[in-house]
Structure 1
Amino acid sequence: MTASAHGERGGGDDAVEAQIDAWRGYVLRRRPISGADVDELEDHLRAQIDDLGRGGLDGEEAFLVAIRRIGALDSLSREYAREHSDRLWKQLVLTSASQGAPGAPAWREPLVAIALGAGAGLAVKLALTLFGMTWDAPASEPGAFLRNATLFVVPFLIAYFGWKRRLGIVPLGILLTCFVVLAVALNAYPFETFGDTEVIAALHAPVVLWSLVGVAYTGGRWRSDARRMDFVRFTGEFAIYYVLIALGGATLLALTSGVFALVGVFAVQAMAEWVLPICVPGAVLVAAWLVEAKQDVIENIAPVLTRIFTPVTLAMLVALLAVLATAGSLVHVDRELLILMDAILVLVLCLTLYAISARDGTDRAGLFDALQLAMLVAAIAVNAIMLAAMLARTAEWGFSANKTAALGLNLLLLVHLAWQAWLTLGFLRGRRPFDALARWQTRYLPVYVVWAAAVIVAFPPLFGFA
């Protein structure tokens, strides 16, 4: 039985889902096997629970028996039972191990990813042609392409995870419906070219689309906290791989064009018209496949990166506080400065999310967690000053689409960061478990998706499409 089939049934009994999430989270943190193998082990576990449930056992009883059987396939289940002696099923999994079932041919997945990446690249190239964006001609509808750019790439990424997770008809239908609704909203409104509402709609569309990718990534089990945290981890690792691919690709293109120029062939136009439009979106699929294929390698990098960038980001936030303190009247704070600080706060949030996803929840609180708390406090202070500046500007010049969207985002960030800081403080003092901190992140993330969807759908008519 596949992950998609379970996702279509809505996840089953909550108590059993919580126990499966605990087992899955433990296995993923240990990382002796790949995420795909964990998915297959979980499918075996769920299949056993289903079979036992049809035989008359309730959810808890079926889990107890099924975990014994899956424990025979996975030595980590036995280790998990030893370390969690309070678990009722501890004694059931202390048995001998055997090898798991072999997976699909190794060549199949990269071939699928490359084919879908080529499809995404050709779709973007076709869109550029349709919207008249060529090397030697001005774009006929640049705003339309800006709104639709991600719509041409995300379906291929959803298709990749739908294929990999064997996503069922029902979740695929829901994803398709949401995609169509978003596409209609982005193209049916009479936007003013490069008006505020068109720009903010284009900026918020990737947030909604990435949430659809998350549903496909989790195999339809989006309500699972563990699955959502898996997707947070994937997002951070994906960003790392994509940047590395982009840097390598840029270097290769620069060297190639330099060599061609030395022999009198100028390939810049050909690269701009064909290589970049196809390779930039194609690299999205390649990066996604690399994360899935190399999870064990990147997992060793993730904690190092978070420990490097957390103190650096803390220093940057302290410097920002000093700049804001000397900026003068909040009404006259530069608009571009406020936008940049918004981007920095989002970066801080992404960094803390990635740090939590890469952390072993069984470890005790330490110096790094104290640094995280200091960074959160500094971010909250910056956010509070920004909110004051935005409210002052709004009182002086009134509401606009940009100011309202920025105010909403900053309020969401303030709530998120403030409660995260409170939970981190409780964890440092030994009064709250790490799981409470992780659950807060995964359960708050849909709020951003709802806000982004509201900005896309409601703001254009509310502000006259200007």
Structure 2
Amino acid sequence: MGGGTMTVDRDNDLEGQIAEWRAYMQRRRELQHTDAEELEDHLRSRITELSESGLRNDEAFLIAVKRMGSLDELSREFAREHSERLWKQLVLPGEPDAPTAARSRRELLVMVLCAAVAALAIKVPGLFGLDLSGDDAGFYARNASLFALPALAAYFAWQRRVGVRVIGVLASLFVLGALAANAYPLADDSQSIVLTAIHLPLALWLVVGVAYVGGDWRSDRRRMDFIRFTGEWLIYFALLGLGGGVLMAFTANTFGAIGLDAEGFIQSWLLPCGAVAAVIVSAWLVEAKQSVIENMAPVLTRVFTPLFAATLLAFLAAVIWTNNGIDVERDVLILFDLLLVIVLGLLLYAISARDLAARPGLFDRLQLALVVSALIIDVMVLVAITGRITEWGFSPNKTAALGENVILLANLTWSAWLFLGFLRGRMPFARLEHWQTRYVIVYAIWAWAVVLAFPLVFDFA
């Protein structure tokens, strides 16, 4: 009896694993139902062969899936054979089953509602006399993220069916952000206003990440999912922004052709409402189309990693050749900080799309060159910032720049060490992925520290 029960349990576990695999396959809309059935038949036959050779069911399942290739590779293979189907699905809704279609309609309606709430939220301050384009620009700058991101978090909280406890945490953090942005007595020319406008969106974006992962923020895998989502979201948001720019240009010129000035409408309604609504629409597009085109950020990473690596190496060669240091002007330091953030983004999205079991290749060596180059530049920037602080003393801007470069230095240093260990075969690539996903917590702590503590530490300067 005991042996029979164990056999049944193992069979049930195997069927559960296959069911999970099948469900993921069926979400990939470039694969039709018959294609998924064919793949499942191949999978089951491989599992049977491996089980007959003496492997346990769970071992046979994992090895069979690995030998069949990743799901992305399988999807690309089917997409090549059925290319007309893939192109149609980029623009057509397809033919999902009734429950899937009903849920898609609900998600569309909820997305539209959240986008409308965000668009209306940015107009609410105007009811109290705050002018978007006038003297109240500082208020809108430091509160910009509070108009759109709560609605985005609400969309993901609904979509992920998060519990009351997670909703309470999300609401508390957004309230804390609102208080930090508005409770401090900051002058219009205060450096802390600029720092809040830069760091509060980052802090609240990571709060959105808690909603995106359904409250499971401790999971490395779920944090990496959110990193992937962020890259895709940026691409969609940029595309919507470009399209919105074209729309505004046509609106201004077509109405101008009949003697009407549409600039007031564009500046007061179309631009601000469209920008905050695009935050939610971009997220919905990522979720809706991820089964068809989910690797845009890693593809761009493959293109730009060699270019940025060559640029940074050329810059370091020019520094050595000319014996010139980095200019310590604030705008220049901001430019280099932005460059380091881009390098970090290239690293993150290359990691997110990499097969952890694959052997080191040329692209990995290019990434190591990119990281080492960025690390050297970061040290040069830190030297420049330290010299500026030594000469002029601490200020909110210089302290924020110092802290951010120290954080980037720690990340890049350990990333370079892990990359080197991987290339030399001394450690698995998964350690680099875990390092990056866990380091997100450091960014969150620093962003909240700048928003909450800096105005107090520097006497609201």
Q: TM-score, normalised by structure 2?
A: 0.80
Asked if residue 455 in structure 1 is aligned to residue 402 in structure 2, the reply is no
Instruction: State how far apart, in whole Å, the 2-side matches of 1:390 and 1:67 are.
Output: 58
Instruction: State how far apart, in whole Å, the 1-side matches of 2:173 and 2:57 are.
Output: 42
| Aligned-CA RMSD value | 3.0
Counterpart of 1:68, as a letter, is E
SS in 2 for 1:374: helix
Asked if residue 108 in structure 1 is aligned to residue 110 in structure 2, the reply is no
Indicate if the aligned counterparts of 2:213 and 2:223 stay in contact, CA closer than 8 A.
Answer: yes
Indicate if the aligned counterparts of 1:380 and 1:417 stay in contact, CA closer than 8 A.
Answer: yes
Residue 149 of structure 1 aligns with which residue? 144
Residue 37 of structure 2 aligns with which residue? none
Residue 122 of structure 1 aligns with which residue? 120
Q: Structure 1 residues 397, 112: closer, same or farther in 2, change over 3 A?
A: same
Asked if residue 71 in structure 1 is aligned to residue 40 in structure 2, the reply is no
User: Which 5+ residue runs of structure 2 have no aligned equivalent?
Assistant: 1-5, 26-39, 65-95
Report sequence identity in percent.
Answer: 48
Deviation of the 1:323 alpha carbon:
5.8
Indicate if the aligned counterparts of 2:223 and 2:437 stay in contact, CA closer than 8 A.
Answer: yes
Instruction: State how far apart, in whole Å, the 1-side matches of 2:20 and 2:223 are.
Output: 25
Instruction: State how far apart, in whole Å, the 2-side matches of 1:64 and 1:340 are.
Output: 58
Deviation of the 1:358 alpha carbon:
2.1
1:199-238 matches, cutoff 5 A? 199-238=194-233
1:243-392 matches, cutoff 5 A? 243-322=238-317, 326=322, 328=324, 333-392=328-387
Q: CA-to-partner distance for each residue in 1:231-281, whole Å, 9 max, x for gaps?
A: 000000000001011111111221232222222222122111111111110
Deviation of the 1:431 alpha carbon:
2.0
Q: Which moved more, 1:202-211 or 1:73-82?
A: 73-82
Instruction: State how far apart, in whole Å, the 1-side matches of 2:185 and 2:191 are.
Output: 13
Counterpart of 2:187, as a letter, is E
Asked if residue 435 in structure 1 is aligned to residue 430 in structure 2, the reply is yes
Which of 58, 71, 82 is equivalent to 1:89?
A: 58
- Paired residues, what number? 401
Q: Structure 1 residues 167, 338: closer, same or farther in 2, change over 3 A?
A: same
SS in 1 for 2:185: coil
Indicate if the aligned counterparts of 1:175 and 1:212 stay in contact, CA closer than 8 A.
Answer: yes
Q: Which moved more, 1:430-439 or 1:320-329?
A: 320-329
SS in 2 for 1:220: coil
Indicate if the aligned counterparts of 1:345 and 1:383 stay in contact, CA closer than 8 A.
Answer: yes
Instruction: State how far apart, in whole Å, the 1-side matches of 2:295 and 2:390 are.
Output: 49
Deviation of the 1:177 alpha carbon:
1.2
Deviation of the 1:143 alpha carbon:
2.1
Q: Structure 1 residues 194, 319: closer, same or farther in 2, change over 3 A?
A: farther
Indicate if the aligned counterparts of 1:225 and 1:443 stay in contact, CA closer than 8 A.
Answer: yes
Instruction: State how far apart, in whole Å, the 2-side matches of 1:380 and 1:409 are.
Output: 13
Which of 402, 405, 418 is equivalent to 1:407?
A: 402
Indicate if the aligned counterparts of 1:71 and 1:94 stay in contact, CA closer than 8 A.
Answer: no
Instruction: State how far apart, in whole Å, the 2-side matches of 1:382 and 1:160 are.
Output: 40
Instruction: State how far apart, in whole Å, the 2-side matches of 1:291 and 1:464 are.
Output: 42
Deviation of the 1:222 alpha carbon:
0.5
Instruction: State how far apart, in whole Å, the 2-side matches of 1:409 and 1:171 are.
Output: 29
Q: CA-to-partner distance for each residue in 1:67-100, whole Å, 9 max, x for gaps?
A: 53242453479859969999872247899xxx99
Q: CA-to-partner distance for each residue in 1:340-378, whole Å, 9 max, x for gaps?
A: 101111111112111211223233221111111110011
Deviation of the 1:191 alpha carbon:
1.2
Instruction: State how far apart, in whole Å, the 2-side matches of 1:367 and 1:248 are.
Output: 37
Indicate if the aligned counterparts of 1:416 and 1:444 stay in contact, CA closer than 8 A.
Answer: yes
Q: Which moved more, 1:409-418 or 1:249-258?
A: 249-258
SS in 2 for 1:455: helix
User: Which 5+ residue runs of structure 1 have no aligned equivalent?
Assistant: 1-56
Counterpart of 2:59, as a letter, is K
Instruction: State how far apart, in whole Å, the 1-side matches of 2:406 and 2:110 are.
Output: 41
Instruction: State how far apart, in whole Å, the 1-side matches of 2:397 and 2:422 are.
Output: 37
Instruction: State how far apart, in whole Å, the 2-side matches of 1:311 and 1:93 are.
Output: 34
Q: CA-to-partner distance for each residue in 1:155-190, whole Å, 9 max, x for gaps?
A: 100000001000110011111112212221222111
Q: Which moved more, 1:145-154 or 1:252-261?
A: 252-261
Indicate if the aligned counterparts of 1:71 and 1:93 stay in contact, CA closer than 8 A.
Answer: no
Q: CA-to-partner distance for each residue in 1:270-327, whole Å, 9 max, x for gaps?
A: 1111111111100111100000011133324333211111112113323443565547
Q: TM-score, normalised by structure 1?
A: 0.79
Instruction: State how far apart, in whole Å, the 2-side matches of 1:259 and 1:161 are.
Output: 38
Instruction: State how far apart, in whole Å, the 1-side matches of 2:257 and 2:176 are.
Output: 50
Instruction: State how far apart, in whole Å, the 2-side matches of 1:127 and 1:348 are.
Output: 37
Counterpart of 2:446, as a letter, is W
Counterpart of 1:89, as a letter, is D
Instruction: State how far apart, in whole Å, the 1-side matches of 2:423 and 2:363 are.
Output: 10
Indicate if the aligned counterparts of 1:121 and 1:281 stay in contact, CA closer than 8 A.
Answer: yes
Residue 51 of structure 1 aligns with which residue? none
Instruction: State how far apart, in whole Å, the 2-side matches of 1:441 and 1:84 are.
Output: 36
Residue 32 of structure 2 aligns with which residue? none
Instruction: State how far apart, in whole Å, the 1-side matches of 2:152 and 2:168 are.
Output: 16
Deviation of the 1:108 alpha carbon:
1.6
Deviation of the 1:63 alpha carbon:
9.7
Q: Structure 1 residues 73, 354: closer, same or farther in 2, change over 3 A?
A: closer
